[in-house]
Amino acid sequence: MIQFQNQYITVFQSGLYQTTCTVVEAKEFVLVVDPNWLPAEVEEIKQHVARIQGKKPLLLLFTHGDFDHIIGYRAFPSAKVIGSKGLAGHPDKRKTLEQIHEFDNDYYIERPYPIDFPEVEFVVDEDGKKLVLGETTMTFYLAPGHTHDGIFTVIEPLGVWVAGDYLSDFELPFISHSVKEYQNTLRKASTILDSHNIKVMVPGHGQTASSQEEVLKRIQLAENYLDQLIAAVQNENLGIMDELEKQMAYPSKFTKLSHQENISIIRREYKGDRPPAR
């Protein structure tokens, strides 16, 4: 379903995990970000693209390599693919594809396109890297923390920021990669807000933010949560850790595991605990 629309972008929201897919209609190209999850939802996105594309080239961008975000890759075979160097050299490509196959088998899902890991053609390897097409400029920033391979994308003059799995209105940080890098990425988010004229920001899960105040509020929400959880871990304050777990929306086995993972990564990076043996 369409969650948000303006002159330049249409944000689709999956029935699963409130995952977003952004389609940007620039003067010079059409860009699809993270097409997902279910076949009928990917088909709806394809039909929208077919309606608006005309003779414009199609670009496909992945905000990071988590399986839910790359699941629709081969539904757009003619597109030029943009992603980070971390995505291009992803160390667990096979495991990620297995997660997709497992999901599809669990729910008896047939897809009319193959499952593959994205082959990145335009590699984002540094902060501030640009892709200029006519009057439209995409500026990319490395955004590690949630995963090692995240990117932020700012599209100007449209004022669009696609953030991947950061800055949700309801989902607290899932660290899974590095808490210190997550904190750096949030600082980078503040810099982006100061240095670009942002009109809308689309997170990987949840509602599109359509004011700078709202984006700032979300940066602060994530920073406050991390500050509190780090302090609780440093002081071994189990009560506060439990409180913070309860603040996660849609409590489930999944949020419980994410909370435990957040704590163990903080222990490792702030208390020098060794990572668990794999």
Please report whether residue 204 would count as binding Zn ion according to CB under 5 A: yes
Q: How far is the CB of 185 from Zn ion (least distance, A)?
A: 15
Measure the CA angle with vertex 147, ends 141 and 150; round to 5°.
Answer: 20
In the range 124-143, which residues lie near Zn ion by CB under 5 A? none
| Piece of the chain touching Zn ion by CB under 5 A; list 52-60, 76-84, 198-206, 213-221 | 198-206
What is the Cα–Cα distance from 140 to 155, expressed in whole angstroms?
Answer: 9
CA 211 to chain centre: 19
Q: How far is the CB of 250 from Zn ion (least distance, A)?
A: 14
| Piece of the chain touching Zn ion by CB under 5 A; list 134-142, 157-165, 168-176, 193-201 | 157-165
Q: How far is the CB of 167 from Zn ion (least distance, A)?
A: 12
Binding mask 50-69 for Zn ion (x = CB under 5 A): ----------------x---
Q: In terms of Cα–Cα distance, which of 172, 203, 145 is closest to 19?
A: 203
What is the Cα–Cα distance from 66 to 37, expressed in whole angstroms?
Answer: 12
| Piece of the chain touching Zn ion by CB under 5 A; list 201-209, 210-218, 235-243, 270-278 | 201-209
Cβ-based nearer residue to Zn ion, 99 or 137: 99
Size of residue set near Zn ion by CB under 5 A: 3
What is the Cα–Cα distance from 62 to 1, expressed in whole angstroms?
Answer: 20
Q: How far is the CB of 36 from Zn ion (least distance, A)?
A: 9
The position carrying tokens 């890759």 is 73
Cβ-based nearer residue to Zn ion, 66 or 245: 66
User: Which letter, b or e, does each residue of 155-190 get, where b requires 16 or more Cβ atoms within 10 Å of its Cβ?
Assistant: bbebbbbbbbbbbbbebbbbbbbbbbbbbebbebbe
DSSP 19: B
Residue 126, C-beta contacts closer than 8 angstroms, at least 6 positions apart: 142
Q: How far is the CB of 136 from Zn ion (least distance, A)?
A: 26
Contact 112, 145 (CB under 8 A): no
Phi, psi of 207 (to 5 degrees): -80, 145
What is the Cα–Cα distance from 139 to 191, expressed in whole angstroms?
Answer: 13
| Piece of the chain touching Zn ion by CB under 5 A; list 3-11, 193-201, 202-210, 245-253 | 202-210
Q: How far is the CB of 127 from Zn ion (least distance, A)?
A: 22
Please report whether residue 203 would count as binding Zn ion according to CB under 5 A: no
Q: How far is the CB of 64 from Zn ion (least distance, A)?
A: 8
**158 three-class SS:** coil
Please report whether residue 72 would count as binding Zn ion according to CB under 5 A: no
What is the Cα–Cα distance from 94 to 225, expressed in whole angstroms?
Answer: 33
Phi, psi of 180 (to 5 degrees): -65, -40
Please report whether residue 165 would count as binding Zn ion according to CB under 5 A: yes
| Piece of the chain touching Zn ion by CB under 5 A; list 24-32, 115-123, 137-145, 162-170 | 162-170
Cβ-based nearer residue to Zn ion, 26 or 100: 100
| Piece of the chain touching Zn ion by CB under 5 A; list 159-167, 170-178, 215-223, 254-262 | 159-167
Residues contributing to the site for Zn ion (CB under 5 A): 66, 165, 204
